[in-house]
Structure 1
Amino acid sequence: MELPLETVALFALKLAYEREGESPILRDDPIMSDYEREVFGLLVRRGDVEGIQFRVAHCVGLALEALGGVGTPLGRELYRLSVDFSNAQTMDQLEEPLTLLKNYLKDIH
């Protein structure tokens, strides 16, 4: 689960901060320090659903702003997927919405 969480964070931060003509944001970029696989791994091992949701919500919120908010078609869909992820109450319930969120962010990037 750590890799998909890191991927969601990476693609969300790319949407928020990456600009054409500049160096791309990579997994080892300093901006990813709070969203590295190891950080998510610790949260997963602890079963810290709220901690995971908090970190993902921060990244997705930045991406949502970059997309123009919930008033845009892309923003509405991202928001809907993030709500589904935020409504999960167990680690098992995080898996499906995480996959949908990851795939959506990859597609729109």
Structure 2
Amino acid sequence: METSLETVALFSLKLAYEEEGLSPILRDDLVMGDYQKDVFELLVRRGDVETIQFKLNQCLGLAMDALGGAEKPLGRELRKLSADFGEVRSMEQLNQPLLALKGYLKDIL
């Protein structure tokens, strides 16, 4: 699960900050400092769903802006998937919406 959390953050930040012709954003870049696997690993171990959601929502908000907002087709789908992720209340419920976000972001990159 930690890897999927990190991947969603990475894909979101790629959408927000990566520009064609420049170096790609990688997992060890400074922008990924708060969103690395070991950070998420600690949060998962603690069962801290709220902080996980907060961290990913920061990244997803940047991705939403990069897609032109919720009024655009890609943004509407991201908003729907983000809302599903935001409704999760336990670690057991986290995996399904997380995988949906990961797949969607991967597809639009």
- Normalising by structure 2, what TM-score? 0.99
Say what the alpha-carbon RMSD is for the aligned residues. 0.3
Alpha-carbon distance between aligned partners in 2 of 1:90 and 1:31, rounded to the nearest angstrom = 28
Tell me which residue corresponds to 2:17. Answer: 17
Q: Report the 3-state secondary structure (helix = DSSP H, G, I; strand = E; otherwise coil) of the residue aligned with 2:70.
A: helix
Asked if 1:97 is matched to 2:81, the reply is no
Aligned 1:39-58 pairs, distance under 5 A: 39-58=39-58
Alpha-carbon distance between aligned partners in 1 of 2:108 and 2:93, rounded to the nearest angstrom = 24
Alpha-carbon distance between aligned partners in 2 of 1:24 and 1:54, rounded to the nearest angstrom = 25
The runs of 5 or more residues in structure 1 that have no matched partner are none
- What do residues 69-109 of structure 1 show as CA deviations (whole Å, max 9, x unaligned)? 00000000001000000000000111100000000000001
> Where in structure 1 do 4 or more consecutive aligned residues deviate above 2 Å?
none
Asked if 1:26 is matched to 2:45, the reply is no
Alpha-carbon distance between aligned partners in 2 of 1:74 and 1:18, rounded to the nearest angstrom = 17
Alpha-carbon distance between aligned partners in 2 of 1:45 and 1:93, rounded to the nearest angstrom = 15
Alpha-carbon distance between aligned partners in 2 of 1:68 and 1:103, rounded to the nearest angstrom = 19
Asked if 1:37 is matched to 2:37, the reply is yes
- Between the two proteins, the alignment pairs up a number of residues equal to 109
Alpha-carbon distance between aligned partners in 1 of 2:108 and 2:60, rounded to the nearest angstrom = 13
- Work out the percentage of aligned pairs sharing the same amino acid: 65
- Normalising by structure 1, what TM-score? 0.99
